[in-house]
């Protein structure tokens, strides 16, 4: 799939998602992260959810990929995990896109002016109590990133060819909140991609292939 074909597919997905027409891929039974309106989401958290947003940055070059970060090991939450740039919503943020762009600039030095926003995917609920809005954005290739030493240990890519391979993501199990739960894992030579990040990637891959 070349860059322009990918742009067209992503724009179509985002446009349908904004109208509520894009359904998330069903979560595995007892998932650790699940679409917000699913039965598993209700079962995951028994308290008020904290709103958050992440930028799903798609590098639109000759070899497209998804930009990801590895969080530093000393953070209070999600330490050492692979994540999209993003975080909890600030009271001054007018919408999830503002949160996603602000956090991406703070975490990896991504200039908001270099991001072409397309729209949103389905919100996800996590076992740590967040309701995450994934915001799709196109990023040009060849940018230099400046990871915040307080938050980000590494910036890397998951190739689009891996994302579109239906055999790439695998299911794993963990014991959480009194029972065994399932979660997705994506292959990468250097990083362990799992949890809500992996679930959002599975959803994106599902709708991209459906297009």
pLDDT of residue 30: 45
The whole-number pLDDT of residue 19 equals 56
Q: Which of 107, 120, 89, 90 is nearest to 22 (CA)?
A: 120
Residue found under tokens 């014991």: 175
pLDDT > 90: percent of the chain: 49
Tokens of 127: 């076992």
CATH number where 63 lies: 3.90.79.10
pLDDT tens string 188-203? 999 999 888 999 999 8
Confidence at residue 71, expressed as pLDDT on a 0 to 100 scale: 86
Q: Which domain holds residue 161?
A: 3-210
Number of structural domains, the chain? 1
pLDDT tens-digit series, residues 11-57: 877 766 655 555 454 454 444 555 555 545 555 555 678 899 999 99
């Amino acid at each position: 799939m070349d860059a322009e074909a990918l742009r067209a597919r992503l724009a179509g997905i985002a446009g349908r998602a904004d109208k509520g027409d894009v359904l998330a891929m069903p979560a595995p039974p007892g998932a650790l992260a699940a679409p917000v309106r699913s039965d598993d989401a209700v079962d995951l958290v028994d308290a008020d959810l904290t709103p958050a947003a992440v930028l799903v940055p798609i590098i639109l070059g000759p070899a497209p990929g998804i930009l990801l970060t590895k969080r530093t090991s000393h953070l209070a939450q999600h330490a050492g995990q692979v994540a999209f740039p993003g975080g909890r919503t600030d009271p001054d943020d007018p919408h999830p896109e503002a949160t996603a762009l602000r956090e991406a600039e703070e975490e990896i030095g991504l200039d908001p002016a270099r991001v072409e926003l397309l729209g949103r995917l389905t919100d996800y609920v996590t076992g740590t109590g967040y309701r995450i809005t994934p915001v799709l954005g196109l990023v040009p290739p060849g940018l230099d990133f400046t990871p915040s030493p307080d938050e980000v240990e590494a910036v890397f890519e998951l190739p689009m060819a891996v994302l579109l391979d239906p055999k790439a993501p695998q299911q794993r199990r963990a014991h959480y909140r009194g029972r065994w739960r399932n979660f997705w894992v994506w292959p990468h030579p250097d990083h362990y991609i799992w949890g809500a990040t992996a679930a959002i990637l599975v959803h994106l891959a599902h709708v991209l292939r459906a297009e």
